[in-house]
Amino acid sequence: MRKKPVQQRSQQLVESLVEAAGRVVAQDGLEAVTTIRVAERAGVSVGSLYQYFANKEALLAALVARMNEELRRAVDAAAPRLVRAGPQAMVRGLLEVAFDFFGQRDGLHTELLRNWHRLDIQLGLHRFEQHMLEVMRMYALAHLRELRLDPQPAQGFIVINSVVFTLLRYLSLPRPALFSREQLVDELSRMIAGTMVPGAPVAPRRRASPSTRKR
Amino acid sequence: MRKKPVQQRSQQLVESLVEAAGRVVAQDGLEAVTTIRVAERAGVSVGSLYQYFANKEALLAALVARMNEELRRAVDAAAPRLVRAGPQAMVRGLLEVAFDFFGQRDGLHTELLRNWHRLDIQLGLHRFEQHMLEVMRMYALAHLRELRLDPQPAQGFIVINSVVFTLLRYLSLPRPALFSREQLVDELSRMIAGTMVPGAPVAPRRRASPSTRKR
Amino acid sequence: MRKKPVQQRSQQLVESLVEAAGRVVAQDGLEAVTTIRVAERAGVSVGSLYQYFANKEALLAALVARMNEELRRAVDAAAPRLVRAGPQAMVRGLLEVAFDFFGQRDGLHTELLRNWHRLDIQLGLHRFEQHMLEVMRMYALAHLRELRLDPQPAQGFIVINSVVFTLLRYLSLPRPALFSREQLVDELSRMIAGTMVPGAPVAPRRRASPSTRKR
Amino acid sequence: MRKKPVQQRSQQLVESLVEAAGRVVAQDGLEAVTTIRVAERAGVSVGSLYQYFANKEALLAALVARMNEELRRAVDAAAPRLVRAGPQAMVRGLLEVAFDFFGQRDGLHTELLRNWHRLDIQLGLHRFEQHMLEVMRMYALAHLRELRLDPQPAQGFIVINSVVFTLLRYLSLPRPALFSREQLVDELSRMIAGTMVPGAPVAPRRRASPSTRKR
DNA sequence: GATGAATGAGGCTTCATTCAT
DNA sequence: AATGAATGAAGCCTCATTCAT
């Protein structure tokens, strides 16, 4: 950010610009983001945009940062509850968090994540992976007997990316998909839990009943 | 394609255009693909490009089609050998195929896949998923006793996307990564195999020895 | 024309190129005329087109020449009959000839005339005007007592252009027009006849009856 | 117009763009109008052009609108005087107005009207025809005894188009023409007046004297 | 003679960024 | 600080014409 917005008014301006950028991304896609359009939706002039952001890239970086922040908050909010749950329940819980996260803000996060390679999402993803690895370690400590003892760096990476991109792809599928969100969560949590508790008997597949299937 | 390249010369031109597009994508990224640049690298004029491709999109579609073709070939070539292997070996084999595939052509495939949502890759991915699901079914029939009997539609989807995007992310990581290709393959194959043979004791983790680590 | 097509085959080729150009003009408008498209519709290659026409302009000039030729023929065919008629009947007859002329070939002539200033139609129009002036003189001689004696050069010019462009505009109107072809012909012939037989009582307006109105 | 030019500076810019477009049309013809050329002549960059006009078509539409406006003004300015005149004087007056109109701005109007079918002139022409029909009605009311009572819709159409396109053609003729502007006006006004006052004795032709001939 | 692939100037339009007001 | 008009490079695509085969 070009200038530190110490004053409250500036803070609001920055916020409204990021918010406007988010709306454009969510509604029209990343391609449609132009500095003028963002400024318009924020109700200010382009000049003001450049007062606070060195360039378009910086604006998008801020948007991405906000996304990272929200993701972290979402995970942290769920963490205490999940640490106490059994492996599969924990995974399931995380998946629900992820689904909720993607559902927020009209698919903004979906669109951003789809463009992870263009935006500076890589660093954020990496940090998130590290964070999740840490969480997994903590979880392992709390469930010493049930779990494999030493989560490898690769494991967090795999789990994170498998989950995130599989969900991303699922949400990008033309509706109706060939399988429900329920089924996806089922299979995915089964797979992830299986990685963490190798030998253990995994809960049997849920019965697919119309009432429990969503989406 | 706008015009059917019946003559051999035309065939070569079309080929060299697609090839040139591929080089640009691999070296400079998808964003850098402009019709003029591609034409230049192919050693022809823009006009010639438009003789064979209705527009830029069509050119990229051809490039994607070529990628799909190559992927199919790679999988089909490995299939007979893999069907006979045990679950984890099979998964490992598939992963090697995938790594090889991504390694080809200077990372062209990596860059294309990164942009799956902009290119018309979705259909290809879907077909590939269906294909893999079929393979999984065949594999399940051949290994009735060891495997869960009914691969769900969701399962193929999950496996494919987990593998593909995890590899994609790995290959997009700044070198050196925190873990080796070996480790990634290890954990990934462990996870995938685990999904297919739930209760079975999975082979223990390989010892990480410097000599076996690549990349 | 670049080359005199002495041989019959060449004659046919030239003819089919002009014909093809005409079809493109009539169906898609003058703007849509490209050398390649014309060649395609004629079933030959562009190269062949340039064998017989120095450039696109020359091709269109040939098309225009054909139009002029047809117009001359149409007028000459009707002339003997018309010379014997009374003034208003003569004018009426000419108008019918003109309407028929425009109706031919899917509106080709309409489209060509609309573009008289771009094509080399001016010369043709001029010659046509001279021709008509001559016809008017002949007619005047045959009807000495009824007509003004000395058709001025300006008069032929006016009559021709008034008729041609008024019809052209009428045919370019979005259907349905506010008045019928019948009414147009009525008023137009009344006006023209009035110019030629100034003091004479002009035939009263026809009763407009549904059955006599066309278009 | 893309953006409303509220500020005076913008107003001027828009004006100068339209003006520049007009100059290009008048000097080089409609075909020669390119966005860059117009911008250059207006002394600004293409980008500025697109700030105020969605596309080239919109720019030309503005030019046409200006023409319509000027025509309306010219007619309205002359109307009060003409309504009081006798039929032939009125027609003559209108013709002078038309000649003046076409003479303005280096033949811009001539070139625009030549392209009535490409530009959105049709609507303007139509409205003008309606307007003139109205004028004719008013004139008829004021001269009940001398005129035919009921101008038909077709009549306005015919008169307008005959006059406009005949003048257009005359002005497009290579100089020197075979007859003078005087002669043209003479014959044309005689014809038009004749339509409106069918039985009345029309004023005899003016003597063509060198001194009264112009152009 | 015939073919049609190849050329490339040139047209339209967008948009990140700057800077005078 | 805010504005928003102005810039112009750069992208996509067309098409009249040529010329090697």
Residue B40, CA atoms < 13 Å, CB-side half-sphere: 6
The rounded distance, in Å, linking the Cα atoms of C140 and C148 is 8
Q: Which nucleotide is nearest to C37 (CA to C1')?
A: F15
Q: Are D96 and D102 contacting, i.e. CB atoms less than 8 angstroms apart?
A: no
- Which nucleotide, over all strands, has the C1' atom closest to the CA of A58? E16
D198, C203 contact by CB (below 8 A): no
**Residue A68 forms contact with B (CB below 8 Å):** no
pLDDT tens column, B114-143: 999 999 888 888 888 888 888 878 887 888
Average of per-residue pLDDT values in chain A: 85
Q: Mind listing the pLDDT tens digit for each residue in C134-181?
A: 888 888 888 876 665 566 788 889 999 999 999 999 999 998 999 999
Cβ neighbours of A155 in B, within 8 Å: 187
User: Which of A30, A88, A133, A162 is the mutation pick for testing B, counting most B CBs within 10 A?
Assistant: A162
pLDDT at C132 over 80: yes
45-104 on C, CB < 7 Å from strand E: 45-48, 50-51
Task: Please state, in angstroms and rounded to a whole number, the distance separating the CA atoms of residues C61 and C181.
Answer: 31
C86-98: pLDDT as tens digits: 888 888 998 999 9
Position B123 scores a pLDDT of: 83
Let me know: does B136 contact B196? Beta carbons within 8 Å. Answer: yes
- The C residues from 122 to 141 touching D (CB cutoff 8 Å) are 122, 125
Q: Where are the beta strands (DSSP E) in chain A?
A: none
> Which residues, numbered 10 to 29 in chain D, qualify as contacts with chain C under a Cβ-Cβ cut-off of 8 Å?
none
Above 50 in pLDDT, residue B212?
Answer: no
Q: What share of chain A is helix, strand, coil (3-state, %, to 5)?
A: 75, 0, 25
Q: A3 falls in which pLDDT band (50, 70, 90)?
A: low
The pLDDT value recorded for residue D143 is 80
Give yes or no for a contact between D180 and D213, defined as CB atoms under 8 angstroms apart. Answer: yes
Q: Which residue is nearest to nucleotide F17 (CA to C1')?
A: C55
Rank B23-37, B143-157, C76-90, D155-169 by mean pLDDT and report only the highest.
B23-37
Query: Looking at residue B146, what DSSP letter applies?
Result: T
Q: Where are the alpha helices (H) located in B8-152, listed in sequence order?
A: 8-28, 35-42, 46-52, 56-83, 87-103, 108-114, 121-142
pLDDT score of D128:
84
Test the C interface: residue of D191, D205, D215 with most C CBs within 10 Å: D191
Cis before residue B176, ω within 30 degrees of 0?
Answer: yes
CB atoms within 10 A of CB C102: 19
Is the predicted pLDDT of residue C206 greater than 70, yes or no?
no
21-50 on B, CB < 7 Å from strand E: 44-48, 50
The DSSP code for B5 is -
DSSP string, D73-122: HHHHHHHHHHHTS-HHHHHHHHHHHHHHHHHGGGGHHHHHHHTTTTTTHH
The per-residue pLDDT for C1 is: 56
Residue range B50-97, pLDDT digits in tens: 999 999 999 999 999 999 999 989 988 998 888 888 888 888 998 999
Residues B156/B132, Cβ–Cβ less than 8 Å? yes
The pLDDT of residue B213: 43
Which residue in B32, B37, B57, B36 sits closest to B47, CA to CA? Answer: B36
Whole-angstrom distance, CA of residue B172 vs CA of residue B166: 10
Give the pLDDT confidence of A32-67 residue by residue, as tens digits.
Answer: 999 999 999 999 999 999 999 999 999 999 999 999
SS3 of chain D: helix, strand, coil, percent, to 5: 75, 0, 25
Beta-carbon-side half-sphere exposure of residue C15 (alpha carbons within 13 Å): 7
Q: What is the pLDDT at residue A211?
A: 46
State the pLDDT at residue D214: 45
How many other CB atoms are there within 10 angstroms of residue C9's CB atom? 8
CB contacts < 8 A (A, B): 108
Positive or negative CA dihedral for B139, B144, B150, B154? negative
| Residue ranges of chain D whose pLDDT lies below 50 | 200-202, 207-215
- DSSP states of C129-189 as a string? HHHHHHHHHHHHHHTTTTS-S---HHHHHHHHHHHHHHHHHHHHSPSSPSS-HHHHHHHHH
Q: How confident is the model at residue A213 (pLDDT cuts 50, 70, 90)?
A: very low
Segment A95-113 mean pLDDT: 94
Question: Over chain C, what is the mean pLDDT?
Answer: 85
- pLDDT given at position C42: 96
Nearest to C3 by CA among C78, C53, C47: C53
pLDDT band at A138, cuts 50/70/90?
confident
Higher pLDDT, A50 or B196: A50
Query: Would you call A187 an interface residue with chain B, using a CB distance cutoff of 8 Å?
Result: yes
What sign for the dihedral angle of Cα C192, C193, C196, C200?
Answer: negative
- A198 interfacial to chain B (CB closer than 8 Å): yes
Residues contacting residue A189 through CB under 8 Å, at least 6 positions apart: A88, A91, A92, A95
Determine the pLDDT at residue C2: 58
The per-residue pLDDT of chain B, averaged, comes to: 85
Torsion of CA D132, D138, D139, D140, to 10 degrees: 110
Beta carbons of B128 and A169 less than 8 angstroms apart: no
Chains that touch C (3 or more CB pairs under 8 A): D
Residues 6+ apart with CB under 8 A from A203: A88, A190
D187 touches chain C (CB under 8 A): yes
Q: What is the model's pLDDT at position C214?
A: 44
Share of chain C above pLDDT 90, in %: 55
Tell whether A107 lies on the interface with B, counting CB pairs under 8 A: no
Nucleotide of closest approach to D51 (CA, C1'): F5
- Per-residue pLDDT at C213: 42
Task: Give the pLDDT score at D165.
Answer: 95
**DSSP letter assigned to residue D202:** P
Asked if pLDDT for residue B184 goes beyond 90, the answer is yes
Give whole-number Cα distances, B108 to A25, A119, A165, in Å.
27, 19, 20
Look at A82-91, A171-180, B189-198 and tell me which has the smallest mean pLDDT: B189-198
The answer to whether the C-beta of B16 is closer than 7 A to strand E is: no
Q: Judge C/D contact: 3 or more CB pairs < 8 A.
A: yes
- pLDDT at residue number C199: 53
* B179 touching chain A per CB within 8 A: yes
Q: Which nucleotide is nearest to B34 (CA to C1')?
A: F11
The answer for residues whose C-beta is within 8 angstroms of residue A131's C-beta and 6 or more apart is A72, A75
Distance from CA of A121 to the nearest CA of B (A): 11
CA nearest neighbour of B213 among B181, B167, B173: B181
DSSP 8-state symbol, D133: H
CA distances from D90 to C14, C208, D93, D159 (A): 52, 29, 5, 13
Spatial CA neighbour of D116 closest among C184, C121, C168: C168
